[in-house]
Amino acid sequence: MTIRQLPPVVVNRIAAGEVVERPAAAVKELVENAIDAGARHIDIVLHQGGQALIAVADDGVGMSRDELELAVERHCTSKLPDDDISDIKSLGFRGEALPSIGAVSRLRILSRPVSQIAEGGQIAEDSAWEIAVEAGTKRTPIPAAHPGGTRVEVRDLFFATPARLKFLKTARSERDQAVDAVKRLAMACPDIAFTIIGDDDRVLLRLPQAASREARLGMLLGRDFADNAVPVAASRDGFALTGLIGLPTMNRGLPRDQYLVVNGRPVRDRMLVGAVRGAYRDVLARDRHPVVALFLDGPAAEIDVNVHPAKAEIRFRDAGLVRGLIVGALRHALAGAGHRSATTVSAGALAAFRPATGAGYDAAPRLAFPSSAGSSALPRALAEAANAFLAPHEPFGFSEPATQSPPPESVLGTARAQLHGTYILAETESGIVLVDQHAAHERLVYERMKEALAQHGVERQVLLLPEIVELDPALSAGLAARADELAEFGLVLEAFGSGAVIVREVPSLIPGLDVRALVRDLADELAEWGDALALKERVESVCGTLACHSSVRAGNRLSPVQMDALLRQMEATPNSGQCNHGRPTYVMLALSDIERLFGRR
């Protein structure tokens, strides 16, 4: 076996495989360089999804002839003035992007330095320079004509490594990936204008400079998000979290609309995504995903951004602290939203309406509006559940008459009728509200159960034969160290030697529990996330099931008083705008929208 040093071209191509795995990665690297150069306007051109051409032009500080030569050499950077990789304040700092891109494409860079003038403006220096790199072969810089700033052109990406072309997706898919990468950077930099031009000079994205993050979020995520998001603001031990998160009823089938920015750097971090999922877990079904835009700022010494060649992943010194901050802040924000439901729910309901034309009207809806509470009593078990969890001091069934006008400051109005034994029709000052009685009551019961668990804990059942579970010594030690926390959720265990734990009590809420499987899951989660998700989710899942079975069912007749009591409790209960699975509990229609349906406006 002969050991030899690889040629520089091969080294650069290996690096390119790590840094530039697709056109979107090249776009990301070039735009990051433009941002670090102080650009205020960045223009991007993509042809054939970026495989034929990527061009990025900026009005940043530009480069001199000597700097241009160094820029295409490996490990040359202007981003580490003190050589301190633990205090990184720029986006691109490795010095690998340009030489890696040049090793697998036809690279051309034009740049003209810009000098600062006394009044705070800029003036371009006398000459611009151009340098070219083809398949890793660098040419000598030559004079060129170019305004102040830099333009980088990447043509025929991966022509020098054709095997990689087989792994690219369609041009459209690659284009969309590149646009998404720019959107994430634009979200972190609202004061920079971005434009992306595609094939046939089609404008794919145009973002003017924004005055604030909120304004940029509105540009990127649309008015629906701006109208149906709640603000997040929290801090802990030097970390500060801000941003906007969508209401649970505004959700997606995929987690693509989750934007996470850490110290100005867009990242895709499994721990952060898991924290978002944990925060929404009891207001959203597992196969649905919220829309969120979060900005986390913290001490550079506590965040390692140098763990991935493409800088897409980061690592926190205390991941548990950060995860707890995110989960707590998001849950607090969602609870503060109260009974709010996304306006997109009402918009969808209006779109589903069609004006009747000609003969053949459907029969009128079947209404149930008993004259007194006693004329249509709930079954005893349901009444007891409602009395216990919904209105302990004003149980369903009391006989005072319903109010004839909405109470002061009432959002959901006054109940006027029950439709098909399932839906409550309420009147507000500005429209009507249609409530799904089962979904609404299910949420109310669930929130009361959560409150009871928080106050009194989870009831436990002693095992006749304690269960011994063997684990890796490090995992068993981690479980034993969190024994007090696990006991709050009904699981009592302790260390049993150096590589096992013994379980003595389990939550009585979960019959037929596979203790060994649960303990192993908990050990893995504590090691990975620093949190016992499996146990919490199982307990909360059981509470959700009990809430579902203890709630007012579809088909149960409710009196006016019962319906109004349900509406008032919804207004006072967090997360009541959606059931435990993220579906809306009510639809609100404005009178003006109803008038438009009938051509009165």
24-54 residue pLDDT tens = 999 999 999 999 999 999 999 999 999 999 9
Q: Is the pLDDT of residue 358 over 90?
A: no
Q: What is the pLDDT of residues 258-317, one digit of tens each?
A: 899 999 889 887 788 888 888 888 788 777 889 999 999 999 888 887 766 666 678 888
- Average confidence score pLDDT of the chain: 79
Closest CA to 336 of 582, 577, 584, 586: 577
Q: What is the pLDDT of residues 414-426, one digit of tens each?
A: 999 988 888 999 9
> Residue 381 has what pLDDT?
35
> Residue 396 has what pLDDT?
38
> Residue 39 has what pLDDT?
94
**pLDDT-wise least confident of 70-79, 118-127, 135-144, 217-226:** 118-127
Q: Is the pLDDT of residue 119 over 70?
A: no
* Mean pLDDT (whole number) for 442-465: 80
Q: Is the pLDDT of residue 63 over 60?
A: yes
Q: Is the pLDDT of residue 476 over 80?
A: yes
**pLDDT-wise least confident of 277-291, 434-448, 449-463, 534-548:** 534-548
**pLDDT-wise least confident of 213-222, 233-242, 530-539:** 530-539
Contact 16, 25 (CB under 8 A): no
Q: Is the pLDDT of residue 195 over 80?
A: yes
Contact 179, 54 (CB under 8 A): no
- Residue 368 tokens, joined: 């149930």
> Residue 323 has what pLDDT?
87
Contact 46, 175 (CB under 8 A): yes
Contact 72, 54 (CB under 8 A): no
Count CB atoms within 10 A of the CB of residue 25.
24
Sign of CA dihedral 396, 402, 408, 410: positive
Q: Is the pLDDT of residue 515 over 60?
A: yes
Share of the chain above pLDDT 70, in %: 76
Sign of CA dihedral 64, 67, 72, 77: negative
Burial (CB < 10 A; 0-12, 13-18, 19+), residue 357, is exposed
Contact 47, 107 (CB under 8 A): no
Q: What is the SS3 assignment for 173?
A: helix
Helix (H) or strand (E) holding 384: helix 380-389
* 205-227 per-residue burial string, b: 16 or more CB within 10 A, e: under 16: bebeebeebbebbbbbbeebbee
> Residue 90 has what pLDDT?
74
Q: How far, in Å, CA of 211 to CA of 349, rounded?
A: 34
Q: Which domains does the chain have, with CATH numbers?
A: 8-207 (3.30.565.10), 213-336 (3.30.230.10), 367-601 (3.30.1540.20)
DSSP codes joined into one string, 146-168: --SEEEEEEESTTTTSHHHHTT-
Sign of CA dihedral 77, 80, 81, 85: negative
Residues 6+ apart with CB under 8 A from 83: none
Q: Give residue 403's pLDDT band: very low, low, confident or very high (50, 70, 90).
A: very low
> Residue 131 has what pLDDT?
96
